[in-house]
Structure 1
Amino acid sequence: MTHSQFKSTNAKTSYIISQPNILFKDILFSTLFYRAFKVIFMSISVFYVGSLSAKSAPVWHMINCNTITQGDCHLLEDNSVYTLIDVGEARVAQNTLIPYLSNKGIDVIEHLFISHPHTDHYGGLESLALAGISVRNIYHNGLPKDVSDFNYKPEIFNKLLDSYKANGTQIIDVNKGFTLNLPNSRLFVLDAKKERQKDVNDYSIQMAWDAGGYRSLFTGDLNNNLGSKLAHNPEYQADILKVPHHGVKGIAPDSFFDNVGPSLLMVPSTRALWYHPRGVQVRNWAIKNWDEKNTHVCNNGFNGSVRIYFYESYLDLDPEIPNGTCPRIKWKLKPKVTPVLSAKKVSLSQISLLLDD
């Protein structure tokens, strides 16, 4: 409405009230009615907006930290509470993760999980600090003191954690069963191996994220040795699987993927790794299950950053670059939920895909 329209309305209102045939009680009734209506309307509006806020859909952002090398960067957004699962290599995070967070106006991360201490998963901690993005809680799996490998140097990793601790960040060594309740979702640690493993990758924190009635599985760089042992564990069945170890050689076996039974694979990888001989196992599994079960695949190397909005009866899949196996769709996916971690006992359901344009 223009300013001149406001003037006209005000003049008309003054004219009506000045008419001698309008009784004072009518004016009083109209005024009281208006005030009552205004109070009721404002109350309904506040309740409605509050309800929308309280029930806003959780979002998983698989941020593309695979531009020049491999890396995991996952942002979970739940009613303005921000959780990161891994932060990629430092040099990549500076050019990908940091701008992504800045564009969303995020300068505080409430929770940050380091799946395991390899630099393509934790190196971005340096970039976050340089960008002035504060982190309130860092969760990790403390490895035996004498463990190290070609990439994991305990003195470097622990020094980085100590620098965060000195600036007020809480450092939490998680165990199996650790639960983080978010506004409209929940993270649950399925396992965090404390006993000696053959590979640093197998110390990766295994996590389930329940959001919107769906379960997503975050596996770090779960490798063949531990993956084989978990291949028949019903706790690991999920609707969406974050593919471990960037989908390359040494990865958990096909039997692990079969047990999870995902309807969607989220692959933090480069295009080159997907086509590389080291990626043949996951590539073949994905092709077979695309043909037989319409299992979808989103890959940073092909789809850029990918967002998934979790609603109660459907998902909104929103890749930066859509393609045939990772389209931009409203996905009426029937949840396949395991009863193991749920308060109510629910049975597993068959994969059912109904895609809307």
Structure 2
Amino acid sequence: MSKIRSVEYFSLFEAGKYPGIFRKIDDTVRTLNNSGCEAKNRNFPATSRGFRELARELLKSKADVIVIRNFFQLPLLLFVFLYLRLMGKYLVIDIPTPLTVVLREFELRENMSWMAISARKIIVSIFYPLSLLPFNRIIQYAGESGYFSFGVKNKIKLLSNGIEVARYKIKRKDILLESKCLTLLAVAKVSSWHGLDRVLVGISNYVVENSRDVAVKFYIAGDGDAIKELKSASERLGIAEKVFFLGFKSHDDLDSFFDIADIGISTLGLYRKGMQSASSLKTREYVARGMPLVVSGDDIDLEPIPNFAFHVSNDDRPVDIHELIRWYEKLGAQNVNKEGIRNFAFEHMDLKTKVKWFLPS
């Protein structure tokens, strides 16, 4: 990098409630620093006071490049962004989910009132297209609708998500079915679009039809809107003794569960948001830790599908646990190991190959 650039990455959310998102931003900032920039992570709580502080700090920023992680109140800062452009700042907006899908996500949130949902949809639908105009670059991780890309299509850069792979510990257990038990792990801020109910129904079907002596355990780490329904479903399906709800766990607390797990469960309900492709952060963490995983839909970094990924349909069909066990047992014979999976993450999912798009060309 010929010139040292100062970068500030601004975000508005509760870091304690969304540690995976905060860690991804922190990874981005660290990688920018390691590549020769002077970068800072500027996170503010999603409160009225936090919003005011963010606006003030934007106006005071001395950075050459300002990155904004998308939040629904963004249109309220239109004139701030216009001022920053006049001051010669290079503005980047990081949009993790296509805006057309964000509208659908509002409808799927069970803990949000009808009035709150309507207000958010109006703000995003009517005012967002205008608020995107001041940005020099728009980073997205899945295709956007024509409505939200109108007038800014030439600014959009479609990327896959990345993490700082070296910050994630490789799992202790290698790819081996020990004690005739297959252990599954899902880590998420659990919503309906994670599709974990597909795994529960699959386990139930397996238990009913089981002709093999392989037990299955499923650990779910995280809180979220869908946890209550998943707990009810595990009781209703008669598999409560096989499903363990761990609640929120910090990054370090999760290490012991990654160590004992055989397979990670990525997002399996993209179709519920009208999506076919995505770039899940958790997929990248599983791979960075050397873990085989179950995936659904399309992911740029997993094309063609590698042999350590078990691909299921992007619809309501239950996960076939019989097939999953057979697939897992074959991985060892194919010389698939945790080190090789982790190396794949370094080659395809590390932020070193992606942060250049946060900077001017």
Alignment TM-score, normalising by the size of structure 1: 0.33
Task: Name whichever structure is richer in strand by fraction.
Answer: 1
Higher relative CO (Cα under 8 Å, sequence separation at least 6) belongs to 2
Rg: which structure is higher?
A: 1
TM-score (norm 2): 0.32
Higher helix share: 2
